[in-house]
Chains A and B, each alone.
Chain A
Amino acid sequence: MVNIIALVSGLIFGLGLILAGMANPAKVLAFLDIAGAWDPSLALVMTGAIVVGSLAFAVARKCNRSYLGLPMNLSTSRVIDKRLVLGSLAFGIGWGMAGICPGPALVLLGSGSVKGTVFVAAMLLGMGIFEILERTRSINFRKRGQS
């Protein structure tokens, strides 16, 4: 059941991105181009999503368990660190270069876009590099702890 919900959620998410125009990189770049022919319509997408999303999280906050009985332990980290800020700053540069963020990238992949596919492949490579760096870091951390 968990997997069916995930599949349906992913599908609705993707249809929402297409309907909103978020899956069109030219439109995303027009939204980010405030000094040019600015297209503010994507702000409406964020607003629409946040209005519905905040209702959902308001309900979720009051539940100990999800409707499928899973523990509702959502992240409560409040740490503002260098990783959060520098990582997000870097993400914005990539987003501004291509007009593509991870969700729309996967929708572009599904629509058969070759450039979208190149973006997804590079994104997965980047995530893989992060994973390797993280594991190396935790191994070194443990080594230091033992000595």
Chain B
Amino acid sequence: MVGTDGGALIGMAVALLVLFNARIAGISGIVGGLFGMQKGDMNWRVAFIAGLVAAPLVWQLFASLPAVRIDGSYAVMAIAGLVVGIGTRYGSGCTSGHGVCGLSRGSLRSIIATLAFMGTGLATVYVIRHVFNFWI
């Protein structure tokens, strides 16, 4: 199953970072932490992000990338990105930090956060597709 295989890889990345570096693989926290500009706390963040950004390039060395479709307009990307940036920082995590790492640790905070963003994620798609019935 491609889904569980991909998930297992994500779990392995999480394992590597916590067992060796004692860090949580939460993407919004790793990226957001760059803004703290703390000396000695920057390089590992940059390295992790570089690995993530390089992943499609490494993938292409061995196979062609699976097709990607983004239906939203540029304006939607800009608004959604802004909301995701602010929201994940106030909420102290995203799909990876709360949804994967937090649930793996059985953190109550992360269970609440995951229910919250899954809830509004489902509601937003429902409203856009089935109430207003349009593609944004």
Which single residue of chain B is at the shortest CB-CB distance from A15?
B55
- State the CA gap A97–B77 with chains docked (Å): 8
Q: Is the CB of A10 within 8 A of B50?
A: yes
Q: With a CB–CB cut-off of 8 A, which chain A residues contact B112? A: 80, 84-85, 88
Q: Is the CB of B8 within 8 A of A49?
A: yes
Q: Is the CB of B88 within 8 A of A91?
A: yes
Interface of chain B residues 27 through 72 with chain A (CB within 8 A): 27-28, 31-32, 35-36, 43-45, 47-59, 65-72
Q: How many residue pairs, one in A and one in B, have C-beta atoms under 8 Å apart?
A: 473
Q: From DSSP, what is the main secondary structure of chain A's interface residues?
A: helix
- Give the A interface residue count (CB, 8 A): 112
How many residues of B sit at the interface, in one of the four size bands? 35 or more
Q: With a CB–CB cut-off of 8 A, which chain A residues contact B65? A: 18, 111
Q: A6-B45, A128-B85 are in contact. List 15 more A-B contacts (CB 8 A).
A: A10-B49, A12-B10, A25-B68, A25-B70, A34-B122, A52-B7, A87-B91, A92-B117, A92-B120, A94-B84, A105-B84, A108-B68, A124-B31, A126-B82, A127-B88
Where the two chains meet, the residues of B that have a C-beta atom closer than 8 Å to any C-beta of A are 1-25, 27-28, 31-32, 35-36, 43-45, 47-59, 65-72, 74, 76-96, 98-101, 103-106, 108-109, 112-114, 116-126, 128-130, 136
Where the two chains meet, the residues of A that have a C-beta atom closer than 8 Å to any C-beta of B are 1-26, 29, 32-36, 41-57, 59-60, 63, 65-68, 70-75, 77-80, 83-103, 105-113, 115-116, 118-131
